Amino acid sequence: MKKFIAFILALVFIFSLSACSSDDAGSDLDYVTEKGKIVVGITEFAPMDYEENGEWVGFDADMAKEFAEYLGVEVEFIVIDWDNKIFELDNKSIDVVWNGMTLTDKVKNAMGTSEPYCKNAQVVVVKSEVADKYQDEASLAELVFAVEAGSAGKETVEALGLTFTEVAYQSDALMEVAAGTSDACVIDLLMAGAMIGEGTGYPDLTYTVSLTSEDYVVGFRKGSDLVEKFNQFWADACAEGTVLETAKKYGVQESVIIK
């Protein structure tokens, strides 16, 4: 009899935990709506997210503002350690990762992801004066690369067996190359187009080899109902012309995916 009672109590305890877990999961949409804001995890990444006169702007930042308005809430941008983005999302320090994030198996397994909204590639950046020496993958073996921790660039150089050092942000990787402390870096094509070459802050840098082709997605918590809400928002914003207008403003119209 005692064993039977213990068994029943154990079942009650298990069902209680299950119920609590289900309640805790709740609706992300309700959670964001009730607190009145959506918190967006970003890094400094022109032309997607960057500061101008104390305000976060860029293609992703502007579209995040549009999404917040669509939800009827305010938007808050928080700079995160990109390597900790999954942790920040899961512990609710942020509600969404929206910062030119490449769709990888790791991202797919850890987050609820939107439909792809932008095309990108990982490219090798070197000083212009030596660019002719590094025009294919085989020529890269002797170089030491700077890569952003937790980025698609890091995954790419690791997969190729190249030597690298990790930095906090892609912008730091560019500074490493400009200063000569790294031979090269691997960053997103969209960032390279906005930040290097004539008329930019890094006129003496250029990109050579394109190592990958990839998709950008927006990341939410696993199972979040905000994924479906975002996909509907994106379709509506495409139909209204908001996406293309914003893309042209930041020069990414060739990469953006119009639904």
Digit-coded pLDDT (tens) for 132-153: 999 999 999 999 999 999 999 9
Q: Which pLDDT score is estimated for 4?
A: 45
What 8-state DSSP symbol labels residue 257? -
Neighbours of 253 (CB within 10 A): 15
Whether the pLDDT of residue 21 is over 80: the answer is no
- Kindly state whether residues 200 and 236 are assigned to the same domain: no
- Kindly state whether residues 127 and 108 are assigned to the same domain: no
Q: Which pLDDT score is estimated for 193?
A: 87
| Residue 54 domain flag | yes
Q: Which pLDDT score is estimated for 85?
A: 97
Answer whether 97's CB lies under 8 Å from 89's CB: yes
Q: Which pLDDT score is estimated for 17?
A: 41
- What is the Cα 19 distance to its own chain's centre? 33
- Kindly state whether residues 67 and 189 are assigned to the same domain: no
- Kindly state whether residues 96 and 158 are assigned to the same domain: no
pLDDT single digits (tens) 33-57: 999 999 999 999 999 999 999 999 9
Model confidence at 194, pLDDT cuts 50, 70, 90, reads confident
Q: Of 159, 128, 122, 165, which is closest to residue 143 (Cα–Cα)?
A: 165
| Residue 108 domain flag | yes
pTM of the model: 0.78
Q: Which pLDDT score is estimated for 25?
A: 53
- What is the Cα 158 distance to its own chain's centre? 19
- Kindly state whether residues 102 and 76 are assigned to the same domain: yes
| Residue 22 domain flag | yes
Radius of gyration of the chain (CA): 21
| Residue 3 domain flag | no
- Kindly state whether residues 163 and 129 are assigned to the same domain: yes
Tokens 């927006």 found at: 218
Answer whether 182's CB lies under 8 Å from 145's CB: yes
The C-alpha atoms of residue 13 and residue 21 are separated, in whole angstroms, by: 12
Whether the pLDDT of residue 5 is over 90: the answer is no
CATH code where residue 20 lies: 3.40.190.10
Whether the pLDDT of residue 9 is over 80: the answer is no
| Residue 256 domain flag | no
Q: CB burial class (10 A; 0-12, 13-18, 19+) of residue 7?
A: exposed
| Residue 134 domain flag | yes
Question: Which three-class secondary structure state does DSSP give residue 258?
Answer: coil
Mean pLDDT score, 20-24: 39
Mean pLDDT score, 245-259: 92
What is the number of structural domains in the chain? Answer: 2
Residue 192's DSSP bridge partners are none
Whether the pLDDT of residue 78 is over 50: the answer is yes
Domain hosting 108: range is 11-116+218-249
